[in-house]
Chain A
Amino acid sequence: MKSCEEYVNLISREHDELFDEEERAAVESHIEKCEDCRNLRSDMKKMVEALKSEEMLEEFPRDLREGVYRALLEKAEIDEKDEIKKENFFSKIFDGSMFAKVASITAVAAALMLFAAFGGAEGVMSKWVYQLQNVQYTDVGVKSPESYDKRVGSTDGSSMYASEEEKSAPEPGNQNMLGDAALEINDRSDSGSSKITRSASISIMASDVKKSVSELKELALKYEALIDNENVSVEDENNGSKTSGSLTVRVPAKKLDEFLGVLADRYDIKSTNISAQNLTLTYNDVETNLKNLRLRQDALRKLMKKANLMEDVLSIDRELNQVKTEIDRYMSDKKYLDAEISHSTVNIEVSEGRASNKPGNNFINGLIDSGKIALSIFLKSLYIIALLLPYFLVASIIYFVVAKIRKIVKKRDFVRKK
């Protein structure tokens, strides 16, 4: 037996396509007994009939029809204009002059080449990283190792002592040791980084050797270099005297590249030779030895305090002196290595002669040099064209394929419109 609610649902669906005769009979039977459902059925019938009637729909307004038509026309015009614009652009590329065709192929080739260049950036990046690492090798500004930080923390050397007792107790010859401690603090070292020293040998051609040597010296001083050696000599070669000069400078390692760059810009460099020496192992050995000797020194000092017999005291003192001598020797080695690493030696040889690659020294030289530059540019241009050629070929293939497809599409559209 269905409830009234179920009959309400049935009555609502009576006007829909999914209502069958069995359901209709059930409804007919129910409404004979239920007035509410009878009224509902009557209301629903009239309501749904009204909803479905033609009168429910208002006529489509005439002015709206005209407005829509106008809007569609405007849209069609805009579409046509866009089509013409697009067509003009593609027409220029595919149906235009030879110049337009070649220009578009070249543009595509250049784009392909740029794309490939970006893909090759990985090689460039790794080169940059390598150069950065090289700079690090010559950089002396490094941290102290931990072991030294724990022991050597202040300029008065107080942390060299294991305890307050040690600090107050007098130590034989400790003035030097304190001095060494201060030097040790200042001589920071890091056994973790590489120690590379670089040196350069450069040959320069100059018309006035003496003047050039003097200028080079001034330039080196500007770069905070130390002048190791300066020499100008005149040789009598069968009555045709020849002047030559040399200058040895020690340039701060981090400024070496800049200094060499300036030399290349200003002078006629005949040859350059830059070498590097890896002193890391040597440096680390020196540091390790120093460390061990200092530990031994500490241990001996502690023993000294505990020694009661004169014999023991004298023996320990002898040992301490030996250790001190060794420490001094290694300190000296370390100082030398630090100096080598912090500065790069540049040996510049200046010989008399014409500065050849600066055009304008005299007219004929200028002509010859300009000719050389022009030839160099021409050869480089040929090189670039050769590089571009494969991309040009690929771009041409793409162009012809697209042109072919466009022709086929146009033909198909034409046939369809016909």
Chain B
Amino acid sequence: MLSLSNEELIKRCIDGDITAFEIIIGTHQKKIYNMVTKYFERDEAYDVTQEILLKIFKGIKHFKGESAFSTWIYKITINTCMDCLRKNKKDKATDMLDKEKIDILKCTDDESNPEIRLEKKELISAIRQSILLLPPDSKNVIILKDINGLTYDEISETLGLPLGTVKSRLHRARLELRGCLIKKEVKV
């Protein structure tokens, strides 16, 4: 259910008020951007994020309030990411991994220190890299649930999947992510 202020903001967005749009999208744009960076390298992530925000602005007049605003936004985000991935047809994750400096690999090369404990910051960096390697199905649920903080029901609505499927995918995604971290000899 939308709050009155949100409704008012959406009406203004429909009338072309960019400031109202910045307010309403403000809390979500960071999460949208972070989601996109899990699929695309930085330059492309900029373009894709811009495309997503424009789509949201153009399509806001069609938003009826039947679902949560965040659900609607993330639906657009995921669909746009999938469309762009299909257009490019490249293994984005591999490209991005090649280009990014991976501290984890550096550490594993260090033979004098086989057991390395990473600080939280390094753990976060390692998790970011590992998420890139996950398949899109697992990637989507783990980003929406654990990073963006959506509920199971909201994820189910966003991805158009039954609740049971969402739960099982999330469980699998978390195990896969942990597996990736262990493989890279990152101590969690």
Contacts and interface: CB of A to CB of B under 8 A. Distances in A.
Do A and B pair up? The answer is yes
B68 to A, nearest CB: 15
Interface of B: 15-16, 18, 21-22, 29-31, 33-34, 37, 46, 49-50, 53-54, 57-58, 120-121, 123-124, 127-128, 142, 145-147, 149, 151-152, 167, 170-171, 174-175, 177-178, 181, 188
A51 B120 CA distance: 11
Closest 10 CB pairs of A and B: A51-B146, A43-B188, A12-B171, A60-B30, A72-B18, A76-B16, A57-B34, A46-B188, A68-B53, A60-B33
Interface in A45-61: 46-48, 50-53, 55-61
Given A50-B120, A52-B149, A60-B30, 11 more contacts: A13-B171, A47-B127, A48-B174, A56-B34, A58-B30, A58-B37, A61-B46, A69-B22, A73-B18, A75-B57, A79-B16
Given A44-B178, A53-B124, A17 B152 contact: yes
8 contacts: A18-B152, A50-B127, A52-B147, A60-B30, A61-B33, A64-B50, A68-B49, A417-B15
A75 B54 CA distance: 9
A72 B57 contact: yes
A229 to B, nearest CB: 85
A43 B22 CA distance: 38
Nearest to B31: A57
B47 to A, nearest CB: 9
Q: Which of A8, A40, A67, A72 has the most CB of B within 10 A?
A: A72
A47 B177 contact: yes
Q: Mostly helix, strand, loop or mixed at chain A's interface?
A: helix
A126 to B, nearest CB: 49
A110 B16 CA distance: 39
Contacts of A17: 151-152
A343 B183 CA distance: 101
The range of chain A's interface size is 35 or more
A29 interface: no
Contact of A47 (B22, B46, B145, B181): B181
Contacts of B174: 12, 44, 47-48
Contacts of A47: 127, 174, 177-178, 181, 188
A52 B149 CA distance: 7
Given A67-B46, A71-B50, A79-B16, A46 B123 contact: yes
B184 to A, nearest CB: 13
Nearest to B34: A57
A42 B142 CA distance: 18
Contacts of A69: 18, 22
A13 B127 contact: no
Contact of B124 (A9, A50, A61, A71): A50
Nearest to A64: B46
A44 B167 CA distance: 15
Contacts of A63: 46
Contacts of B15: 417
Contacts of B18: 69, 72-73, 76
Contacts of B145: 16
B175 A12 contact: yes
Contacts of B181: 43, 47
A9 B171 CA distance: 7
B15 to A, nearest CB: 8
A51 B54 contact: no
A105 to B, nearest CB: 33
Nearest to B29: A60
Contacts of B34: 56-58
B167 A13 contact: yes
A267 B112 CA distance: 119
B51 to A, nearest CB: 9
Nearest to B130: A47
Contacts of B50: 64, 67-68, 71
B30 A56 contact: no
A64 B175 contact: no
A71 to B, nearest CB: 6
A18 B163 CA distance: 12
A73 B53 CA distance: 13
Contacts of B142: 51
Nearest to A79: B16
B30 A59 contact: yes
